[in-house]
Copies of this chain bind each other. A is one copy, B any other.
Amino acid sequence: MYNTDWTKDFPILNQEMNGKAFVYLDSAATSLTPEVVLEKMNEYYREYGVNVHRGVYAMGAKADGEFESVRDQVQKFIKASSREEIVFTRGTTTAINMVAFGYVLPKLQAGDEIVTSMSEHHANFVPWQVVAQKAGATLKFAPLDANGAVTPAALQSVMSEKTRFVALNHMSNVMSALNDVQALSRVTHEFGAEILIDGAQAVPHLSIDVQAIDCDFYAFSGHKMFGPTGVGVLYGKYACLQAMEPFEYGGAMIDQVQQFTTSYKDAPYRFESGTPMIAEVIGLGAAITYLEKIGYATIQTQIETLREYAIQQLEQLEQVEIYNPHNHEAATIAFNIKDVHSHDAVTVYDLEGVAIRAGHLCAQPLLSEIHQGSILRMSLQVYNTKADIDRFIAATKKASDFLDVLFL
């Protein structure tokens, strides 16, 4: 079981920041990493820390087995139809780039259209800009509703018979709006196009069923869901993966290398060239186990309770402007303090020991939509407590006096 005293699983919660007990409200940037994940990775290095995929000796077979069993685990975790649909990547960013450059770009013709939205993280935005530009294709934007979500109707309004590909998030990283990705996939397919879902923010919060969603690709990162840095997942329908060009060429992904020609392995191995992120993949497996032990229901209840509690209090502070008050499934609160630059504000939180994020949040397109140059975001995970919110609110009340930090 996981520990309900979260500081046992996450010793970082016992740290101080600027002399105050640490309050972590930045899990949407990266979640904290539980001890079980570290233990599993340490175990790899200490007990069988050898290379994979070529292990013809017992310890290599052990490493292979541990590594490949995570593929099965991920398959079940997101309900893919086969383990061969799971590609390990460096993270969401890499996963999306693999699809953009290995799958979409080679098919695109001048005049084709790609659809995305202004609420995407840069990782699911810039690659499509570049791909569209290289192919002479047009980038179109599904309009956002008041909560920052893309409704099926909104998607439909920008689809055409020229649309080749759609790239949208499952949950956005600033507004934390939840998209009905199943309906978005249906609309996409009605137009004969294909869809990638950026699940980086969704996977830590919702149970994923890629077959029910019926998306063609789904991407997420380990470090946002209790896993280690340096690892992520690209899910692709097998036929899509088989039709995708490799992104990197080298060892492990090849079948036969001759002087002038090389043949490649089938998916997913064709996309995992070189020595993989071995410890990280094994750590990802432990993170999934951990997350499943806690259960999404527990995570959702805790986050919703804390978020409502925080919103209620923030709404009483007239200097606070909240951008996503009605996103009840959200794990974030996106806000600003009137007449206070986000960077001035964040130092006030910092000195109170409260870690929240400020800036463009890798979402400049969204910020331009809401006419803000920068923004504050607090984000929640299951290890947060009511006391954290109280500390957060107390800091918020001080933020208008942002020059105080210079005179402590």
Contacts from A to B (Cβ < 8 Å): 11-12, 15, 17-18, 22, 24, 26, 29-30, 32-33, 37-38, 41-42, 45-51, 54, 56-60, 90-94, 96-97, 100, 118, 121-127, 129-130, 139, 141, 221, 223, 228-231, 247-252, 254, 256-262, 273-280, 343, 346-347, 349-350, 354-359, 361-362, 364-365, 368
Contacts and interface: CB of A to CB of B under 8 A. Distances in A.
Contacts of A254: 122, 126, 364
Contacts of A280: 229-230, 277, 280
Which 5 pairs show the lowest CB-CB distances between chains A and B?
Answer: A93-B274, A123-B250, A230-B277, A251-B362, A93-B250
A275 B224 CA distance: 10
Most chain-B CB neighbours within 10 Å: which of A57, A228, A231?
A57
A122 B251 contact: yes
B92 A274 contact: yes
A371 to B, nearest CB: 14
A38 B30 contact: no
Contacts of A141: 259
Contacts of A251: 93, 121-123, 362
A54 B376 CA distance: 12
A30 B50 contact: yes
Most chain-B CB neighbours within 10 Å: which of A47, A277, A278?
A277
A257 B126 contact: yes
A123 B288 CA distance: 31
A90 B90 contact: yes
Given A249-B127, A256-B364, A259-B141, A57 B228 contact: no
A54 to B, nearest CB: 6
Nearest to A273: B93
A39 to B, nearest CB: 9
B350 A56 contact: yes
A59 B355 contact: yes
11 contacts: A12-B47, A26-B57, A33-B49, A57-B355, A58-B350, A92-B274, A97-B249, A97-B273, A122-B254, A230-B276, A230-B279
A357 B51 CA distance: 10
Nearest to A361: B54
Contacts of A258: 364-365, 368
A259 B357 contact: no
B56 A358 contact: yes
Contacts of A121: 250-251
A30 B55 CA distance: 11
Given A257-B365, A357-B56, A94 B47 contact: no
A84 B357 CA distance: 26
A29 B54 contact: yes
